[in-house]
Amino acid sequence: MQPLWFGPATEPIFGTLHEPVSARDLGAVVCASAGFETVGTHRSLRLLAGQLAASGVPTLRFDWPGTGDSSGVMDDPGRVPAWLASVASAIDVLREATGVRRVALVGVRLGALLALEAVDRGLDVDGLVLLFMPEKGEQWLREARARHRMGVAALAAPDPPAPALPEGAWEVNGLMLTRETREALTALDPAARETWPREPPPVLLLRSETQPPNGRCESALVARGGSVEATGAPGYAMWMVEPAQVQPPRAAFDRIERWIVERAGDDPGLPGAAGSPGHRAALSAACALPCADGVTVHEEAIQIPGPTALRGIVARPQAPTERPWVVLLNSGPVRRVGPNRLWVRCARAWAAAGVSSLRLDGRSMGDSDGEPGPYADPEQFYEPHVAEDVQRALTRLESDHGAREFILIGLCSGATASFQTALRNPAVRGCAMINTQVLFWDREHLAAASEARLRSAFAPSRLLRRARRGDFPLRRGLDLVRTRLGGVVGRRLRLGRTGPSAIPGDVGAAFDQLVSGGVRVLLVYSQEDPGIAYLERSFGGDSTPHRGTTFDRRVFVGPDHTFQPIWAQQRLYEQLTDFVLGPGSAAASPR
């Protein structure tokens, strides 16, 4: 895997190239979806890209401008035009980097709509795969909005009250869609076009289990002419669930691989393709990103070698400083961009203010090596190797970047890893823990915490109230209950077979060690998060075990576990910025 930046200097795009040992003369560009759907599908698309590369197909996947590790933010103007332009840029860089002459697009959900729209506007491609594509942009918006309403329906009212969104803007699962972006997405309607703008590419359309055959868009594509193969594919339902329960649609991936290889032809050899210096452009894993007020931030994708290679993004200021490095950790299976992309925002704003950072993917997370998923057992996010991986990353920052001291920040399981590493490494001078569920790995408590979250989220009164308001589709709700209950029951059965297995730890003594050693500690909780009860039990009913200049605790009324909605992200960002830069600090807005 080769990380790279490409596209316009004013808004660089982050991508990852998967190169085969022997390349065919047909490459693939993977166009992901957006919003919540990318949280769980990102690692699956890494699997798909690797699968295609193993069959000789050079494959590039990338983050849309304003999403993931790419530059920009979602509420920038011109999002949809920038996304469409990025498809053409991705094709260009794939050709330049590998020497392939032909390129197929593989679009997923909203990414399929965007890929098809780019072709309908004249982009020349040699194949088009549309995986689980909605009928039109309006449908995708409606489904995303419904998921968002389902998630926030039972949240407490914010205190103090939340500011209003800009006029015409929507919040969708922690991201802001401006009126302009919504209108541009609504205008995506492939069935409204009667012809292809040029010679039609061969098309593979894979429907989900919930999509009937011969739908409006499928019928319109067939009527346009050309080669259109449409068929159903299993796996959609378990691909669009909560990230920890995601199962890659392997049958669909296998079908895509066979179809693209068939388009490539029988000859796997390509003179001057991947790996040939005479035919490849220079690829850079580093990039200068423009921020507000003319400030430039430097980012670089790095790899941390070891038994399981880890990957991450370093963000650095223009001029080196002696301030501690910040390391931002995974929240469960959420990749290094952080909950609602907050880690990207923090890293770039803090770099603009003089603080270097690393956004780290632990093993089996994001782009790091390890198991492809699914994450059938959330206990894996708390096992001892997680803190060991963090320590390996700190050692690498010391040797390669001259880091001397660190501040660790994590949410949920990332908070646990922050705590455990801080106890073991005296170079850690600050530790911010957000909605931590457990501080020492304890299977019995983790099972209890999962049960508590399940009871809270799916209480019958809440389900019925949401259904009456139209905020909770009952069929979808039953699928979620079955998935989550199965995980809880499975953990309880395993616990019953093996007995409790925990790393013993005295939470009070551990906090004493940190505070007495001068480590600054910040605990942040959502008011209704079950982690508060764990902390109170650990300290005999007192959830504020220490008071003083090095310990602080904050509880916010209204956010969910990942600090949605948008107003909660802003308040968490301000709290963390005060912790890293000092009270009242202002950080430049990243773009």
Q: What is the mean pLDDT of residues 207-218?
A: 92
Q: What is the pLDDT of residue 383?
A: 85
The letter for the amino acid at 387 is A
Range of lowest pLDDT (51-60, 116-125, 214-223, 269-278):
269-278
Q: How far apart are CA 433 and CA 445, in angstroms?
A: 18
pLDDT confidence bin for 453, thresholds 50/70/90: low
- In angstroms, the Cα distances linking 137 to 69, 192, 332 are 24, 12, 30
pLDDT in tens, 298-315: 999 999 999 899 999 999
CATH 3.40.50.1820 domain locations along the chain: 2-136+180-279, 286-441+503-581
pLDDT in tens, 473-521: 445 455 544 544 444 444 433 333 333 333 346 888 898 899 999 999 9
Q: What is the pLDDT of residue 183?
A: 97
Cβ atoms 429, 580 nearer than 8 A: no
Closest to 61 in 3D by CA, of 83, 32, 86, 81 = 32
The rounded percent of the chain whose pLDDT value lies above 70 is 83
CATH of domain 286-441+503-581: 3.40.50.1820
Place of tokens 């039609």: 200
Largest pairwise CA distance in the chain = 73
Would residue 283 be called left, alpha or beta, if left means φ above 0 and alpha means ψ between -120 and 50 degrees? beta
pLDDT in tens, 350-360: 999 999 999 99
The rounded percent of the chain whose pLDDT value lies above 90 is 67
Q: What is the pLDDT of residue 408?
A: 98
* CB contact set of 444 (below 8 Å; sequence gap of 6+): 495, 500, 502
pLDDT in tens, 64-97: 999 999 999 999 999 999 999 999 999 999 999 9
DSSP category for residue 279:
G
Would residue 490 be called left, alpha or beta, if left means φ above 0 and alpha means ψ between -120 and 50 degrees? alpha
Q: What is the mean pLDDT of residues 294-299?
A: 92
Q: What is the pLDDT of residue 536?
A: 82
Q: What is the mean pLDDT of residues 532-541?
A: 78
Domain 2-136+180-279 has CATH 3.40.50.880: no
When comparing pLDDT for 237 and 585, which is higher? 237
Q: What is the pLDDT of residue 399?
A: 97
Q: What is the pLDDT of residue 274?
A: 45
Full DSSP string of 379-424: GGGTSHHHHHHHHHHHHHHHHHH----EEEEEETHHHHHHHHHHHH
pLDDT confidence bin for 584, thresholds 50/70/90: confident
Cβ atoms 140, 110 nearer than 8 A: yes
- HEC profile of 95-151: HHHHCCCEEEEEEECHHHHHHHHHHHCCCCCCEEEEECCCCCHHHHHHHHHHHHHHH
pLDDT in tens, 123-135: 999 999 999 999 9
Q: How far apart are CA 150 and CA 458, in angstroms?
A: 11
When comparing pLDDT for 370 and 29, which is higher? 29
What contacts 24+ positions apart, CB below 8 Å, involve 529-534? 529/435, 529/561, 530/437, 530/449, 530/452, 530/453, 530/456, 531/435, 531/436, 531/437, 531/438, 531/449, 533/452, 534/436, 534/437, 534/438, 534/445, 534/449
pLDDT at 346 > cutoff 90: yes
Grouping H, G, I as helix, E, B as strand and the rest as coil, residue 40 is helix
Range of lowest pLDDT (327-331, 335-339, 447-451):
447-451
Cβ atoms 440, 505 nearer than 8 A: yes
Q: How far apart are CA 389 and CA 425, in angstroms?
A: 13
Instruction: At 269, list the tokens.
Output: 């050899």
